[in-house]
Structure 1
């Protein structure tokens, strides 16, 4: 009998990467309202360890539960599912639309 359990994994979006080797990941989940039964999106933020400083704001990542790494870090980034759009492309878009009109 194995007493090791599978660790929790969540998919979320990086909302901050300003710390060294740490990112803040927002995980959204849909829950029904207890009385009205309408589905509501609730979110929670987790501090996750990013050993190579690869994550950027807007990246979609998978985080996994791990041993406590600091006072607030108990999660580690497993992989990056989708990269965010580059800031250069986002800055060019408003300029192009104003020139076309």
Structure 2
């Protein structure tokens, strides 16, 4: 998939800065070619729960942000993210005290 398409699908404007950041994230994501197609599908599935996949602003990783409303929905979305990672053998790193995960890469 082209970088511009990834940025657009994740809701970013295609700018030189965004493309440079995406390039760093791709280079930092182990097995990106395996992760890529599943990441966009997860992003689309999370939208219904006010959650999404984004580029992290402080680390060169994709991040999965769970912003579901209410504890029950938050738990449901966290479970959805965990099952997604297990199914596609993707390593996540949970951000302490937040419902946010970094996508480290393919196991």
Question: TM tier, shorter chain?
Answer: under 0.3
Higher strand fraction (1 or 2): 1
Greater C-alpha Rg: 1
How high is the TM-score relative to the length of structure 1? 0.23
Looking at secondary structure, tell me which structure has more helix per residue.
2
TM-score of the pair, normalised by structure 2 = 0.23
